[in-house]
Structure 1
Amino acid sequence: MSNEYELCTVREYFDKKYYLSMYPDVVLHEVEPVFHYCEYGWREGRNPSADFDTTFYLERYDDIRAAGINPFYHYIVAGKSEGRVARDRSGALKHRLAHARPQREVVKDWMIEVIPPANDAEEKAAALLIEGRPTVVSVSHDDYRVNFGGVQNVIADEQGELSDEVNYIHLSPAQPLPKLSDEIDDFIFSVRINSAEAGRLDLDQSQRLLSRVVASQGAPRWIIHHLMGHSPEILTRLIGSQPSGKIFFWAHDFFAACESYALLRNDIAYCAGPPPDSMACGICVHGRERGEHMARIRGLLDTLSPTIVAPSRAALRVWERTTGCHFESVVVNPGELFVSAGEPRPEPRLPLRVGFIGTRSFHKGWVSFEDLALDLAGDRRYCFYAFSSEAEGAHGSQIEHVSVRVTPENRNAMVDALLIHGIDVVVSWSIWPETYCFTVHEAIAAGAFIVARFGEGNVGDAIKQFASDCSVELSCDADLNHLFKSGKLVTIVRDSPRRYGALVPSMGTADLIDTNPMAELSEEVA
């Protein structure tokens, strides 16, 4: 039986919210969570917080396991001062590497029941078209009105900008997938028209709908935002079945170069997109599929000869290098950032408020940020925040979660949240070259000092352009930890100016379309 002293000692460091979120069955025991851990939980391999791995500690230290001591209690009263390690710092990497799978296997977890289109689906979709308007057809990997993210916001802004002048038809896969679809005949689209849900259409129904469009309103213009989940062959047939206006193809990420759209070898390290027949691809779980994947997309590109649209010059550089494609290219900034001339930064109050913005995913650098916060637990110079739309419970008490959802209706939600919480520093630590990093622009607009990982993507370009004197770029996690632990960050932030900015949302491809008088859209192509 746990004694009262042990309970009191552990209670101070125990993360009740984390414990209950990870082990909801504890509620059924009708006992205090910390008592449950001390009495049963550690013996069952449960963790008292995200900071401490019970199983790891007992496996690493035989003396503690042999003595039958509560490992967390031991770590608090003796282990930490003895230099013992609370968890495997490389555990996240090991876990990802051990569970890395080619997308052909991941697909099994994505399968849903897709209800076939109704016989009158085409008629109902056509009823949503507004007579006399030219048409834009956009294509992406999911429903931009249901899901949230950078690509979805670009599409929503694009549709909103064009809503008074065109019929905007959006096609996404009825069966979402993390790879290209293998379908060559029975593909089903999920359709929206002028932002309204229009149901599902198969290829034949989609072709007939487009025939109506061409007959009454002229050839549509196509905007391909993302091919994930689509069949390039089906899409090529659909576009080629009718006259079409200009075709745009967005390089939002590097899906055209690999199923691993962030170009992560075995899901853990940026690979820089070597040739698909290279030895580097040969040792990657995504390498086996890469040659065929690239060939299928290249077939669509070669047939349609689209204009490539990149959200940043950094994106275009990497996209052309990794895909080997060089078409007529148009670089579009999916949003503008205007910053102030700068003003002296007030003497930093301690602790510095350090934030992580956006999805808590591996390729965004979340693991490095979480490790940094755990390393600095108890350091009075810093406190850590995570701003995202995700639910709580995925991190420890060292990081305060702030729920934020950026939508087309509230594009400044993240900037406002950073200002409200007085964030001094934002760590932008993506391990891949982001094509356009909304979060770093939001951080700059909120006047935060930026700590970024050095790389070839949009993050580096953005801070050089807007925050060169209130940012620092580092090469690795060791440099990141040293910057904080040495206290050098406090000095750098104190001596830097503070700039505030204003974000202007992108109009997507609407910026490239002649909307007055939309003549090119309505021209039929012979």
Structure 2
Amino acid sequence: MSDKSGLMKNLLEDHEYIRWVAIGDDFDEAYYCAKNPDVAQSGIDARLHYLRTGWLEGRNPNTWFDSAYYLLRNADVVAAQVNPLLHYVWQGRLEGRITKRPHDAVRTIIERARPSHHRAVHFPQTAPLPDEIDYLIARISEHKTGGLVVSFGHDDYAENIGGVQRLTGEEATDYAASGWQYLHLSPARPLPMLSPERELDHYIFSVRLDGDIFGPANAAQILTLLIELSQNGRAIDFIIHHLMGQSPEVVATICNSVADAEAYFWLHDFYALCSNHNLLRNDWKYCHAPGRDSTACRICAYGRERSDHLERIAHLFEQIRPSILAPSQTPLSIWLDRSSLDHNRAYVVSIGKLVVAEDPVLPRVGGPLRIAFIGHDSHAKGWTTFQALLDRFSGDARYDFIRLGVEGDTPSGDNRCRHIHVRADRDDRDAMTLALAENEIDAVLLWPAWPETFSYAAHEVLAAGSFLITHADAGNVPSVLAAYVPLQGVVLENVDELFELFAAGDRLAALLKRPRQQGVILPHQNTTHMSLKRHAVLRDQRQSAWMETALA
């Protein structure tokens, strides 16, 4: 008998102690406390709290048992006024009673899907920033060599982590190395939608110049600055990394203020095709971006707002005719097939590359296979499928499931896998690769619900020498595997094949015995490779024209 069990035996009446012990193996204390911080803070024993009052309040004892659903389906349990988990342990399990509604993960995601403007209500107002617009103007005006690039994004790349932010930071550094200044404009109040504000005087940017914060500034102030710089002969280009939270009308006016400037539009996702940037119908299933009048849009939470969303973006494209930049062929092919937006040219600009070491690394020997999920635990990134693996195999001694990512980033509170804190940001970009290698992760599941446009995660997995498990419709993920180390992963057709792979075990074990290769991820290309080349050509043309005039 454990010390805790002995203590509870002394504290509780016999009948209550028996019930407390009975549900012990099925009660997940860490999960219960994570989902119910009031219980954790109260100091009361979590299992006892559930036995006495938690079930009456609709609280769940673990990830696989829904107290309210069990009572809803079983009138006899309600009539007996017995704790639902206790009934399941003593009787319901033997009778094969269902503990959670069928397809609960799917139904929960769909039920929670809300249009962007509904979710925007819950986005907090950002704290006011010091007004340093005069200092910003002075610093830009004092820069006498090189041009200015104006970049639009959905958030402050220096304060947030992700693929877009990583690329933006690399881009700013490369422009600075070439003598250009980098002016990044993000919404002062980030939103999950296009900004409803369309007037220059009322739209507020958070401003960052060459990595230093200067915000806020209204769009009219930025416009006045750019017009003056352009009239003084300053070379200016525009980059649109993302429009979420931005005002397309404001962006168009600013871009059109500079004659002969080039605008570049990045396809980091599919926000130009729908307000759901992953193209997930009701946040669940990839929809292939049907026509705006499609019946499919009528049954989607984002369908009603999509028409206005597309019209505003179409007007922006008509005004500025940007060149399209895609981080891989996958998003470019989808975009060209599903979009009729007016644009200049379209290019694939590979934003990173994996340099693979020649010497192979032998796989780990002994113990259960370490199967990991990395990054943000969202359905779009494949967390729902990883949870389905946990449902089936978390008690299987052949496997040890691990999640690597930012601490406190698990809304599910799922404690059937170990959690290792990893934060890969601009100051430690190889953090995930190193964590995978240091923890000797055998395989990583990358099972996105949408076609990934680049996937730094796939590069991190292979660089660490881990085995990659993905599916054929994962966008650029299979292409990354095929391009670098084809034998260091497997591309499956569907979830059933994934479950079969884990159920049998022999094939997976054989795949994981293959020698691996490790490597390093290097920045490859960004907008500088397009815009600076263009300006070099323009400079040469001007010099050639001047010489012809001088010699005439």
Fold in common (TM above 0.5): yes
1:59-88 CA distance string (max 9 Å, x none): 234444444443334444554455444333
- The answer to whether structure 1 residue 204 and structure 2 residue 220 are counterparts is yes
Q: What residue is the counterpart of 1:170 in the other structure?
A: 184
Superposition pairs for residues 3-82 of structure 1, below 5 Å? Answer: 3-27=16-40, 29-76=42-89, 79-80=92-93, 82=95
Deviation at 1:205, TM superposition (A): 0.7
Deviation at 1:113, TM superposition (A): 6.5
Deviation at 1:11, TM superposition (A): 3.2
Q: Secondary structure of 2:532's partner? A: coil
Question: Is this contact kept in 1: 2:280–2:286, CA < 8 A?
Answer: yes
In 2, Cα distance between equivalents of 1:195 and 1:314? 31
Out of 111, 135, 151, the position equivalent to 2:148 is: 135
In 2, Cα distance between equivalents of 1:117 and 1:523? 43
Residue 395 of structure 2 aligns with an amino acid whose one-letter code is G
In 1, Cα distance between equivalents of 2:473 and 2:64? 29
Question: Is this contact kept in 2: 1:135–1:213, CA < 8 A?
Answer: no
Q: What residue is the counterpart of 1:281 in the other structure?
A: 297
Deviation at 1:520, TM superposition (A): 5.0
Superposition pairs for residues 176-325 of structure 1, below 5 Å? Answer: 176-185=190-199, 186-216=202-232, 218-325=234-341
Out of 148, 156, 162, the position equivalent to 2:169 is: 156
Across the two proteins, how many residue pairs are aligned to each other? 522
1:190-211 CA distance string (max 9 Å, x none): 1111111111111221112213
Deviation at 1:332, TM superposition (A): 1.0
Q: Which moved more, 1:392-401 or 1:339-348?
A: 339-348
Deviation at 1:318, TM superposition (A): 1.1
Q: Which moved more, 1:513-522 or 1:449-458?
A: 513-522
| Cα gap change, 1:392 to 1:306, in 2 (>3 Å) | closer
- The answer to whether structure 1 residue 476 and structure 2 residue 490 are counterparts is no
- The answer to whether structure 1 residue 97 and structure 2 residue 113 are counterparts is no
Q: What residue is the counterpart of 1:86 in the other structure?
A: 99
In 1, Cα distance between equivalents of 2:394 and 2:104? 19
Q: What residue is the counterpart of 2:7 in the other structure?
A: none
In 2, Cα distance between equivalents of 1:55 and 1:220? 60
- Identify unmatched segments of 5+ residues in structure 1: none
In 2, Cα distance between equivalents of 1:436 and 1:358? 15
Q: Secondary structure of 1:87's partner? A: coil
1:281-324 CA distance string (max 9 Å, x none): 22222222223322321222232222111010111111212223
In 2, Cα distance between equivalents of 1:450 and 1:468? 10
1:110-149 CA distance string (max 9 Å, x none): 262786995xx43121133352132111111111111211
Question: Is this contact kept in 2: 1:135–1:521, CA < 8 A?
Answer: no
Residue 228 of structure 1 aligns with an amino acid whose one-letter code is M
Question: Is this contact kept in 1: 2:369–2:399, CA < 8 A?
Answer: yes
Q: What residue is the counterpart of 1:372 in the other structure?
A: 389
| Cα gap change, 1:356 to 1:13, in 2 (>3 Å) | same
Question: Is this contact kept in 2: 1:363–1:430, CA < 8 A?
Answer: yes
Q: Secondary structure of 2:414's partner? A: coil
Residue 123 of structure 2 aligns with an amino acid whose one-letter code is W
Q: What residue is the counterpart of 1:381 in the other structure?
A: 398
1:214-263 CA distance string (max 9 Å, x none): 24561311111111111111111111123353221101100011111111
1:22-77 CA distance string (max 9 Å, x none): 21222454322122222222232212222322222232344444444433344445
- The answer to whether structure 1 residue 452 and structure 2 residue 470 are counterparts is yes
| Cα gap change, 1:521 to 1:76, in 2 (>3 Å) | farther
Question: Is this contact kept in 1: 2:364–2:442, CA < 8 A?
Answer: no
Which structure has more relative contact order (CA 8 Å, sep 6+)? It is 1
Deviation at 1:489, TM superposition (A): 4.5
TM-score, normalised relative to structure 1: 0.91
| Cα gap change, 1:87 to 1:499, in 2 (>3 Å) | farther
| Cα gap change, 1:270 to 1:390, in 2 (>3 Å) | farther
Q: Secondary structure of 1:481's partner? A: helix
Deviation at 1:150, TM superposition (A): 1.0
Q: Secondary structure of 2:528's partner? A: helix
Deviation at 1:328, TM superposition (A): 1.1
Q: What residue is the counterpart of 1:338 in the other structure?
A: 355
| Cα gap change, 1:33 to 1:20, in 2 (>3 Å) | same
| Cα gap change, 1:244 to 1:327, in 2 (>3 Å) | closer
Question: Is this contact kept in 2: 1:225–1:250, CA < 8 A?
Answer: yes
In 2, Cα distance between equivalents of 1:123 and 1:244? 27
Q: What residue is the counterpart of 2:134 in the other structure?
A: 123
Question: Is this contact kept in 1: 2:353–2:524, CA < 8 A?
Answer: yes
Q: Secondary structure of 1:57's partner? A: helix
Question: Is this contact kept in 1: 2:377–2:409, CA < 8 A?
Answer: no
Question: Is this contact kept in 2: 1:250–1:310, CA < 8 A?
Answer: yes
Deviation at 1:399, TM superposition (A): 1.1
Q: Secondary structure of 2:214's partner? A: strand
- The answer to whether structure 1 residue 438 and structure 2 residue 449 are counterparts is no
Q: What residue is the counterpart of 2:548 in the other structure?
A: none
| Cα gap change, 1:374 to 1:229, in 2 (>3 Å) | same
Q: Secondary structure of 1:154's partner? A: helix
| Cα gap change, 1:125 to 1:17, in 2 (>3 Å) | same
In 2, Cα distance between equivalents of 1:44 and 1:184? 46
- The answer to whether structure 1 residue 397 and structure 2 residue 415 are counterparts is yes
| Cα gap change, 1:321 to 1:97, in 2 (>3 Å) | same
In 2, Cα distance between equivalents of 1:468 and 1:82? 47
Out of 378, 384, 392, the position equivalent to 1:361 is: 378
Q: Secondary structure of 1:17's partner? A: helix
Identity over aligned residues, as a percent?
35
| Cα gap change, 1:65 to 1:126, in 2 (>3 Å) | same
Residue 157 of structure 1 aligns with an amino acid whose one-letter code is E
| Cα gap change, 1:106 to 1:446, in 2 (>3 Å) | same
Deviation at 1:156, TM superposition (A): 0.8
Question: Is this contact kept in 2: 1:218–1:523, CA < 8 A?
Answer: no
1:436-495 CA distance string (max 9 Å, x none): 111111111111111112206111211222242232222333322222122144334244
Residue 414 of structure 1 aligns with an amino acid whose one-letter code is M
Deviation at 1:183, TM superposition (A): 1.7
Q: Secondary structure of 2:23's partner? A: helix
Residue 206 of structure 1 aligns with an amino acid whose one-letter code is I
- Identify unmatched segments of 5+ residues in structure 2: 1-12, 543-552
Deviation at 1:424, TM superposition (A): 0.5
Larger radius of gyration: 2
Residue 219 of structure 1 aligns with an amino acid whose one-letter code is A
In 1, Cα distance between equivalents of 2:534 and 2:106? 52
